[in-house]
Amino acid sequence: MNGNGDQAFVAMARARLVLVVEDEYFIAMDLQAVLADAGYDVLGPASTATDALKLLDDNSPSAAVLDVNLGDHRVTPVAHALAVRRIPFVLASAYSDLDLANEPLLAKAPNVGKPTAPGPLLDAVGRMLSAVPVADER
């Protein structure tokens, strides 16, 4: 491929890369399978905020799916890192808007619920990615 073709391929691949942050193994595997079956490339799943932040140090996903509670910790540091990078995210959580009211960054994020049905998850990810401009890699 020429340089322009390579850049277009990288941009297209990045546009399909979705970070999954979920500490419950079977739920994480289900989220990963639903996204992969729909044609997305999945980064992770990460089961801790620390692991997710390490993945973000080395990768540039176009979107993320976050659980709110990761063991005894919240996903808030990951949400902040995503916000700084202008990477949109959706929550996959049983928490209501009222439960998240004290955390504005999480409260304003779309929440597809938990258990997470494939349809709402894929709709939310598709909406996020359709709103993400593809960066020029030059």
The domain covering 18-130 belongs, at the CATH homologous superfamily level, to Response regulator (3.40.50.2300)
Confidence of residue 93 (pLDDT cuts 50, 70, 90): very high
Token pair, residue 95, equals: 């928490």
Q: For the residues 7-28, what does the mean pLDDT come to?
A: 75
Residue 61 has a pLDDT of 97
What digits encode the pLDDT tens for the residues 2-14? 554 444 333 444 4
Residue 15 has a pLDDT of 63
Q: Which range (3-7, 55-59, 102-106) has the least confidence?
A: 3-7
Domains of the chain by residue range: 18-130
Residue 133 has a pLDDT of 58
CA gap 53, 19 in Å, rounded:
10
